[in-house]
């Protein structure tokens, strides 16, 4: 790799930011369904502030924790109610990631696994997901057709962002294999034991690239570039950490019965 094409890196930043906007919209769909009515702009600011905190705290827990605190302090929303919304949002996101990982493995691991295994895994995961939501998050069950589309859209936008990074590095060969590892690394990065996912992605790329006979140096370089891009986008949320009044709660409203649910 002799040079990086910066216009493509800028495109990667843009698609990553778009994915986060869609992710914030999905979260607000769950908020609204739960009776917590946040204007979309305020929700987006709060989400971006959470992304900033996620840079310093493990596995996204920091950003989620701040949302719970913020809603409790400013809207008097019970902690349990906020945690329920954030939990279903995470479960939905992980479900989409898992399905996309298995679906892409059908092409990347072609000949290594029988297609029947892929179909069985997807069927079992989908059944378990819908059963879990119906059993423990029943109030959100009816809206899954919308939030699932949003979740797959989030991952698709991040895959486009990743493809831009690889092409910018001049690595347009075996791109599906690199994107497959990216999806796996996203699952690993969501586990709350690393700071902002740092280290988890790199280790995943390092070991998975060896298994798929990819260049480990390219894999680790890609994961580092993706982390830098996600960090740069997330750092814009520092504006709301420095000036929290910019989030502005004055237009925020919530359903009159939200405290009783």
Each residue's pLDDT tens digit, 10-57: 999 999 999 999 999 999 999 999 999 899 999 999 999 999 988 877
Residue 180 predicted with pLDDT over 80: yes
pLDDT at 260: 45
Q: What is the mean pLDDT of residues 218-247?
A: 91
pLDDT at 55: 84
- At 143 the three-state DSSP class reads helix
Q: pLDDT tens-digit profile of 64-97?
A: 888 999 899 888 899 999 999 999 999 999 999 9
CA 213 from chain centre, in angstroms, equals 27
pLDDT at 89: 95
pLDDT at 252: 42
Q: pLDDT tens-digit profile of 204-216?
A: 888 888 888 898 8
Higher pLDDT among residues 58 and 148, named by residue: 148
Two structure tokens written together for 172:
């347009």
| Nearest-angstrom CA–CA distance, 205 and 222 | 9
Higher pLDDT among residues 110 and 49, named by residue: 49
Q: What is the mean pLDDT of the chain?
A: 87
Of 154, 112, 126, 133, give the one whose Cα is nearest residue 27.
154
101-105, 153-157, 256-260: least confident range:
256-260
pLDDT at 198: 57
pLDDT at 192: 61
Per-residue exposure over 81-116, b if at least 16 CB sit within 10 Å of its own CB, e if not: bbebbbebbebbbbbbbbbbbbebbeebbeeeeeee
Q: Which residues on adjacent β-strands are paired with residue 58? A: 195
pLDDT at 203: 83
Higher pLDDT among residues 122 and 260, named by residue: 122
Q: pLDDT tens-digit profile of 112-123?
A: 777 888 899 999
pLDDT over 70 percentage in the chain = 89
Confidence of residue 201 (pLDDT cuts 50, 70, 90): confident
Q: What is the mean pLDDT of residues 163-176?
A: 91
pLDDT at 261: 44
pLDDT at 173: 83
Q: What is the mean pLDDT of residues 143-166?
A: 96
pLDDT at 161: 97
């Amino acid at each position: 790799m002799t040079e990086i094409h910066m216009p493509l890196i800028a495109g990667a930043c843009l698609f990553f930011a778009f994915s986060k906007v869609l992710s914030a919209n999905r979260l607000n769909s769950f908020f609204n369904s739960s009776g917590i009515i946040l204007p979309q702009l305020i929700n987006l600011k709060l989400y971006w502030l959470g992304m900033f905190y996620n840079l310093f705290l493990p596995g996204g827990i920091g950003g989620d924790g701040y949302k719970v605190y913020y809603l409790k302090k400013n809207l008097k929303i019970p902690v349990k109610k906020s945690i329920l919304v954030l939990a279903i949002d995470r479960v939905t996101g992980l479900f989409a990631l898992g399905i996309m990982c298995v679906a892409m493995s059908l092409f990347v691991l072609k000949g290594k696994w029988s297609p029947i295994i892929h179909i069985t895994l997807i069927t079992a995961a989908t059944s378990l997901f819908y059963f879990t939501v119906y059993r423990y998050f029943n109030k959100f069950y009816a809206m899954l057709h919308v939030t699932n589309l949003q979740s797959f859209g989030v991952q698709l936008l991040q895959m486009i962002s990743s493809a831009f990074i690889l092409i910018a590095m001049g690595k347009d060969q075996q791109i599906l294999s690199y994107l497959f590892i990216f999806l796996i690394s996203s699952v690993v990065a969501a586990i709350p034991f690393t700071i902002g996912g740092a280290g988890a992605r790199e280790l995943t790329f390092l070991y998975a690239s060896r298994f798929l006979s990819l260049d480990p140096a390219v894999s680790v370089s890609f994961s580092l570039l993706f982390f830098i891009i996600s960090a740069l986008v997330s750092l814009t949320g520092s504006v709301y950490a420095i000036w929290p009044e910019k989030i502005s709660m004055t237009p925020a409203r919530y359903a009159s019965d939200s405290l009783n649910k």
